[in-house]
Chains A and B, each alone.
Chain A
Amino acid sequence: MSNKLKPLALDRAMQEGLPLCYRQIMVSDEIMDEPTMKSLTMDFPKYRHSSAFIRRPRKPISKPEL
């Protein structure tokens, strides 16, 4: 998670429809960086449906068994 969280500006009508803790929505523009959007297809033929988006490729790919 990024350090740079910014509060989202909400209009009054929207604020009134939200419980207190939802009135302070924080936004991070840095979450969706290039690696986050990459889709990884696992190269294990015996697995089906193993195409997956990975939030941070760093961790899973660094596993020694790969």
Chain B
Amino acid sequence: MILIFSTAGDPATIDVMRWIHHLSDTKVVRINSDVRYRVDLTFSGDDYFVRVDDDEFCLADVSSAWLRKGGFWFKDLYPPVTAPVSSVLTDHLSKKLQQENRVLRDHFHYVLQKRCAVLGSAHGSTPNKLIVLELARELGLSTPWFSVSSSRRYAQELVESGHGHVSKAMSDGLYLFDTSESKAGYFTYTELLDPQSLDGVAEHMTPSFFQRYVDKDLELRIFFLDDAFDAMAIFSQNDDQTKVDYRKYNMVKPNRVIPFRLPPDIESKLSQLATKLGLNTGSFDMIVDKQGQYYLLEVNPVGQFGNHSESCNLSIERRIAERLLAHEQ
């Protein structure tokens, strides 16, 4: 049996499930972190017995698990409580219940890792971007020079330094689809740090992340599955709309993309970095400057790869399906 943890809106999960369906009769249970189920969970002996709506299984039945999206997939195991006499007690109890949930989640992941072949990150989130950049440097990968500061004066000095800089999120940034109220999408992007971006900013500002702007020749999106790396080059530099952040897609004249072969030493260092981060799948973002120097920007363990797969004819979805099926008896 294959267990897939995801979210309801993830198109990659659907595509991989279709390939599993095409290739095999293996039972698949998909659990979405944003869907409410009736869940019963028992750990007894050395295994978890799980009932999710009408599906019952124990982790010993699972040959492969894909932790595609989400953090912990069993909602409402600890429903919110309200203490009758004290809001302080209510707040404290809520924190305690979150701690109980975290301990259970971590143990569930621990047993899952022992029981079956797990693809994906057990933490369901992006690794700390700053730590990734530090680790990359230690492995000999170049990264754009970066800094973090809560001082407007410092940001002003960067602007006046003559070197270009960008400001970007230290985490994933804003990427929200509001389906219920405003019916709109909200996004933040990597932005050039220029004098206008400091207009109206107080001396003490919220800590912000800055990175040296690299005048790039091309941008690389590199999907990896275990030790196989597939890179796509994106020619985003020639379009003012996409040159700082290619996610400001130009739908009228999309950036040209082509499959790209990485130099073996870059691939080897990325492989070491993935191992250090405990990742067996994900996507690295890199840029190559005009002198041919490679710079790592970040890694995303749960990013979308559909466009990459289709544009470069890589059949990533099928390869993930085959990886999940490989452990079936």
Residues of A within 8 A of B (CB): 1-3, 5, 8, 12, 15-29, 31-32, 36-37, 42, 44, 46-56, 59-60, 63, 65-66
Q: How many residues of B contact A (CB 8 A)?
A: 63
Complex interface residues of chain B between 176 and 202 (CB less than 8 A to chain A): 177-179, 183-191, 193, 197-198, 200-202
Q: Are A50 and B185 in contact (CB under 8 A)?
A: no
> Which residues of chain B come closer than 8 Å to A49, judged between CB atoms?
29-32, 35, 37, 52-53, 55
Complex contact A3–B21 (CB within 8 A): no
Contact A3 B250 (CB under 8 A): yes
Main secondary structure of the interface of A (DSSP, over half): loop
Contact across chains for B28 and A47 when beta carbons are under 8 A apart: yes
9 closest Cβ pairs, A-B complex? A31-B185, A32-B183, A20-B208, A20-B167, A19-B208, A21-B167, A28-B185, A1-B249, A53-B9
**Given A3-B250, A49-B31, are A21 and B188 also a contact pair (CB < 8 Å)?**
yes
With A2-B251, A27-B186 as given contacts, are A32 and B177 in contact (CB-CB < 8 Å)?
yes
Q: Are A21 and B191 in contact (CB under 8 A)?
A: yes
Tell me which residues across on chain A come within 8 A of B184, comparing CB atoms: 27-29, 31-32
Complex CA distance for A65 and B15, rounded to whole angstroms? 10
Q: By the criterion CB–CB under 8 Å, are B30 and A55 in contact? A: no
Interface majority SS (helix, strand, loop, mixed), chain B = mixed
Contacts of B27 in A (CB 8 A): 46
Q: Does the CB pair A48–B188 fall under 8 Å?
A: no
Residues of chain B with a CB closer than 8 A to A24's CB? 188-189, 191, 197
Any A CB within 8 A of the CB of B248: yes
Q: Bound state CA distance, A2 and B108, in angstroms?
A: 40
B183 touches A29 (CB 8 A): yes
State the Cβ distance, A29 to closest chain B Cβ, in Å. 5
Residues of B within 8 A of A5 (CB): 187, 248
Interface flag for B19 (CB, 8 Å): yes
In the complex, A31→B186 CA distance in Å? 9
- Measured CA separation A11–B80 after assembly (Å): 33
Q: Identify 28 residue pairs between A and B in the complex whose beta-carbon atoms are under 8 Å apart, listed by A's number.
A: A1-B185, A1-B247, A5-B187, A5-B248, A19-B167, A20-B208, A21-B169, A21-B188, A21-B208, A23-B197, A25-B186, A27-B184, A27-B185, A27-B186, A29-B183, A37-B179, A44-B21, A46-B21, A47-B21, A48-B54, A49-B53, A49-B55, A50-B30, A53-B179, A54-B11, A59-B11, A59-B310, A65-B21
